[in-house]
Structure 1
């Protein structure tokens, strides 16, 4: 079921780039002018997928498109994203953040709109490290007096 979906050229004149991160996920996102395709390339498998298929849930797909809908640039760009690490929910958030940053490269005047919606603030919540003497980051072993 390997299909070559990337049939557009990414160049300096027709694409805008943004990097998004969330939890363990990293997304490199290009907004491509004159395309209507939404494509995700997974670094783990090396395959390209249609974004709606890859994200599996419609809510995640709508989350990725939210910056485009908010700024009124929904039909102007196609999205090509490479993702690695984390799960699909974190990857969707990373793509959304990358799209917002790429829109700023396209038009810096969109900044107040994106800022007000909270799309330019990186979500810094990460997994807490495991401490020695504990089972997980905070979960301890059951204490028994005898």
Structure 2
């Protein structure tokens, strides 16, 4: 066996290869849809994505009728607009729990995850913008001996 004179010789002798990036595969159900669950506060959204005309249905209603405030509609469309996939997918959502703001965040999280299951190459851009991270902030529970979670009862000297 030849003697090694430097680290360059070691690289050639061992035959090290650059580590390959993990290969993400498409996750589809039997009907060709990508399914994901999104969560935010107390809201849970179940999202199905399939190729289509861009129709978004939330709890059997058009998303604009369900989320009447324009800010909530904008939150819903963020992952679609960011990835430039407007009008390419039909999205069907069932969402329960929480209020409208939490539900909109849950739907956004679910759409982002479902898009990555359908098109794994979109993962990098969605992750960079923070759409795949579950916002874990929830309401703090009320403690006994307190008016709310942290607020004390009013002090009375007499």
- For residues 1-146 of structure 1, what are the structure 2 equivalents within 5 Å? 12-41=30-59, 48-146=60-158
Which residue matches 1:7?
A: none
Distance 1:49 1:111 in 2: 28
8 Å CA contact 2:45–2:93 kept in 1: the answer is yes
Distance 1:109 1:97 in 2: 17
Distance 1:33 1:56 in 2: 25
Distance 1:113 1:14 in 2: 23
User: How far 1:12 moved relative to its partner?
Assistant: 2.7
TM-score (norm. length: structure 1): 0.84
Question: Which of these two proteins has the greater Rg computed from alpha carbons?
Answer: 2
- Structure 2 spans left out of the alignment, 5+ residues: 1-28
8 Å CA contact 2:57–2:92 kept in 1: the answer is yes
Secondary structure (helix, strand or coil) at the match of 2:91 reads strand
- Structure 1 spans left out of the alignment, 5+ residues: 1-10, 42-47
- Report runs of 4+ in structure 1 exceeding 3 Å deviation: none
Aligned residue pairs total 131
Distance 2:124 2:50 in 1: 23
Larger relative strand fraction = 1
User: How far 1:13 moved relative to its partner?
Assistant: 4.1
Instruction: Please provide the CA RMSD for this pair.
Output: 1.5
